[in-house]
Amino acid sequence: MPELRKHPIYSKRRKSKRQRQGAPSIELIAGYRLRLVFAILAMGLLGLMSRMAWLQVLQTSELQSKARAFQVQRVQPLGARRSIVDRQGRLVALDEERFHLWAHPNNFRFPGDDSEVLRKPLDVARKLSGLIPKTTDELVELIGNRSSGVRLARELEPEIASEIKKLGVSGLELESYLQRVYPQNELFANVVGFLNDDRVPQAGLEQSLNKILSRKKEPVRRLRLAGDDTPLPDDLAPGVFYRDDAQLQLTLDSRLQELSIKALQRAVRYWEAKKGVAIVMNVTNGELLALASTPTYDPNQFWKYPSDLYKEWSVQDLFEPGSTFKPINLALALQEGAIDVDGTVNDTGIIKIGGWSLRNYDLGSNGVMNFAEVLQASSNIGMVKAMLKMNPSRYWDWLHRLGINERPKTDLPGAVAGYLKPKKEFVDKPIEPAVTSYGHGLSLTPLKLAQLHALIANGGYLVSPHITRGIKGGEAPQISEADNNSPLLRPEVTRVVRRWMESVVETDSVFGFKRIDGYRIGGKTGTADKLVNGEFGGGLKVCSFVANLPADNPRYVVLVVIDEPKGGGAYGSTVAAPVAKEIIEGLLVLEKIPPNY
């Protein structure tokens, strides 16, 4: 042992050659230190493993749900309700974002303010007064001494809301919501309807097609996102980014609709009438290019108007069509063989039927007439004598077959059936078919009358009038189809009646409807007295005019009806025909209809 102790390694005083040359010395670490470091490292590793086990085993569900909240986006439709567009794609109704502005004075701070700073309402009011329709004093008074939940403004536009956000004022809250907006104002109110403040549909297509117009409420897809919000490609299915942007497209043309309603409004004002309607229908498929009525309302401010304006009277109110029904009756008589194409009748000016004396509207007589001349003179006596040749039972059956007393198949909300006397009464009382021959004793809606004249125009087919084409970019709504797949009337019958109607316009027998150069147009006026307290003679009338064009191969029917015009010269030819002519002139241009000659 003494020899070992003298070994250089155990000698503290003896220096090695490296030490003598200035090299760093190497010292042994005590064993307890190594054990202490190892214990600390082992304890830290054990702690990490315990924490990992705690997170991955015991807190798995909680942490996974938190992660999904950040990583998964629920892709939802853009809005709550689909837009409505016209046949040209012009917006008729849409959802727009609006904002309510709330103030919480107990949290008023400007950008850069210390957390202990609290701004006065006057400071905030000065910044807001130029953005919202309230003065600084009004805002300060509105806030008062309240500490929170003060509504400062309603229905703010997105642009204004954006400017308020840029202020960066803490304590101002913008509450967003969707508002239904109607860019065309009153132009389509009669058919589209509106939503109330609670977004509940109240009228028109908004109400009748509510399910179709409502967007899907459930999210389309759960989409995983990376930390920078980039969609992760795993588990992506086709259509994951799809948003429900489908729109309901109408058959109506806003240009023709505007032209029609302005022409109607001028006539209603001039004649101090109660109301008016104009219909333009495609006779081949029943599409309505215009369905205008007045008076109407602005759906953006529906609360300012009486509720009786919310309905569309052209499909909900009945009237006796008068002489505009005469072409329909002549077509039925021709179809049954009761009259001949070249037949005549003797208009004696008065005829007694079942104890009743019937006369022409002008109390005159016209002598022997063919049926084109019956329409030209609008002879009541000529029509009575023509329809007396038809079996009353067959006559009623035809009126029923045309659907006079049935609700028409249409997508127009609120459409009602017309009125036709019971068959027994019609057959047993000769006066009933007699007055029906010139458009009295039965009643229908203007829409139904347009449908029946489309039957004459298209060769005998009863098409269903409708105003919706379908959903662009989505499923199609249930649109009414034609009542019959085969014609009700023989094509040759309808051609004859159209020729007779054309003669009405060609002979200038319609004083308010002069010929349009180059175009062949058929037409017929109507002036029907209205019942007052169950009797005629009160001076109230319904004036109408119906036209088909081009007469050789019609594509359109135009009907104008004006209710209760005032004045001694109020007739279908003077009241309704000028309106129809103005609409037809616009239709020829908009639809690029070439002249016949």
Highest mean pLDDT among 80-89, 225-234, 307-316, 371-380 belongs to 371-380
Tell me the one-letter amino acid at 135: T
pLDDT class of 79 with cuts at 50, 70, 90: low
Min mean pLDDT across 308-312, 443-447, 545-549 is at: 308-312
**Are 259 and 155 within one domain?**
no
Structural domain containing residue 524:
254-298+313-590
DSSP for 33-96 reads HHHHHHHHHHHHHHHHHHHHHIIIIISHHHHHHHHHHHHEEEE--S-SB-EEE-TT--EEEEEE
Specify if 416 maps to a domain.
Answer: yes
Better pLDDT: 579 or 516: 579
**Are 452 and 575 within one domain?**
yes
pLDDT of residue 24: 57
**Are 361 and 492 within one domain?**
yes
* CA–CA distance, 252 with 286 (Å, rounded to integer): 12
Q: What is the pLDDT of residues 5-42, one digit of tens each?
A: 444 444 444 555 545 555 556 666 677 777 888 888 88
**Are 127 and 261 within one domain?**
no
Residues 150-162 have a mean pLDDT of 90
**Are 140 and 264 within one domain?**
no
Which one of 163, 182, 201 terminates a domain? Answer: 182
Neighbour count for residue 471 (Cβ, 10 Å): 17
pLDDT class of 70 with cuts at 50, 70, 90: low
The half-sphere exposure of 160 on its side-chain side, counting CA atoms within 13 A, is: 20
Q: Which residue in the block uniquely carries the two structure tokens 């702690």?
A: 47
Q: Judge contact between 474 and 462, C-beta under 8 A.
A: no
Specify if 409 maps to a domain.
Answer: yes
* CA–CA distance, 397 with 395 (Å, rounded to integer): 5
369, pLDDT greater than 90: yes
Min mean pLDDT across 3-17, 84-98, 166-180, 576-590 is at: 3-17
**Are 176 and 290 within one domain?**
no
Specify if 30 maps to a domain.
Answer: no
Q: Which residue in the block uniquely carries the two structure tokens 């000065």?
A: 126
What is the b/e burial string over 84-108, where b = at least 16 CB atoms within 10 angstroms of the residue's CB? Answer: bbbbeebebbbbeebbbbbbbbeeb
pLDDT of residue 10: 45
pLDDT class of 461 with cuts at 50, 70, 90: very high
Beta-bridge partner residues of 282:
556
Angle formed by the axes of helices 254-270 and 577-590, nearest 10°: 160
Specify if 554 maps to a domain.
Answer: yes
pLDDT of residue 539: 78
Length of the chain: 597
Min mean pLDDT across 110-114, 179-183, 377-381, 437-441 is at: 110-114
Neighbour count for residue 138 (Cβ, 10 Å): 14
Active-site entry in 323, 379, 443, 509:
323
pLDDT of residue 477: 47
pLDDT of residue 581: 95
* CA–CA distance, 247 with 213 (Å, rounded to integer): 8
Q: What is the CATH number of the domain that holds 399?
A: 3.40.710.10
Specify if 530 maps to a domain.
Answer: yes
Min mean pLDDT across 49-53, 98-102, 397-401 is at: 49-53
pLDDT of residue 264: 97
**Are 143 and 265 within one domain?**
no
Q: Judge contact between 457 and 521, C-beta under 8 A.
A: no
Share of the chain above pLDDT 70, in %: 85
Residues 553-576 have a mean pLDDT of 94
Q: Judge contact between 451 and 408, C-beta under 8 A.
A: yes
C-alpha distances (whole Å) from 107 to each of 148, 163, 170, 395 are 8, 20, 6, 81
**Are 573 and 450 within one domain?**
yes
Which one of 182, 204, 227 terminates a domain? Answer: 182
Q: Is 380 helix (H, G, I), strand (E, B) or coil?
A: helix
pLDDT of residue 11: 45
Is 509 part of the annotated catalytic residue set?
no
Q: What is the CATH number of the domain that holds 159?
A: 3.90.1310.10
Q: What backbone phi and psi angles, to 5 degrees, belong to 383?
A: -70, -40
Min mean pLDDT across 107-121, 254-268, 387-401, 486-500 is at: 107-121
237, pLDDT greater than 70: no
Share of the chain above pLDDT 90, in %: 57
* CA–CA distance, 324 with 541 (Å, rounded to integer): 14
Residues 476-481 have a mean pLDDT of 45
How many folded domains does the chain comprise? 2
Token pair of 124 as six digits: 């905030």
**Are 291 and 425 within one domain?**
yes
**Are 140 and 284 within one domain?**
no
Residues 450-466 have a mean pLDDT of 96
Specify if 218 maps to a domain.
Answer: no
**Are 264 and 162 within one domain?**
no
Closest CA to 383 of 323, 441, 337: 323
- Average pLDDT of the chain? 86
pLDDT of residue 77: 46
Residues 180-184 have a mean pLDDT of 93
Q: Judge contact between 194 and 187, C-beta under 8 A.
A: no
Neighbour count for residue 37 (Cβ, 10 Å): 11
* CA–CA distance, 170 with 103 (Å, rounded to integer): 9
Q: Is 259 helix (H, G, I), strand (E, B) or coil?
A: helix
Which one of 125, 158, 182 terminates a domain? Answer: 182
* CA–CA distance, 374 with 328 (Å, rounded to integer): 13
Specify if 319 maps to a domain.
Answer: yes
Better pLDDT: 230 or 454: 454
* CA–CA distance, 137 with 122 (Å, rounded to integer): 8
> Strands (DSSP E) along 190-295, which ranges?
221-224, 247-250, 275-282, 288-294
Q: Which residue in the block uniquely carries the two structure tokens 């006079």?
A: 404
**Are 433 and 556 within one domain?**
yes
pLDDT class of 546 with cuts at 50, 70, 90: very high
pLDDT of residue 232: 60
Specify if 193 maps to a domain.
Answer: no
Q: Is 528 helix (H, G, I), strand (E, B) or coil?
A: strand
pLDDT of residue 63: 73
C-alpha distances (whole Å) from 370 to each of 336, 342, 345, 362, 386 are 18, 7, 6, 19, 10
* CA–CA distance, 312 with 295 (Å, rounded to integer): 10
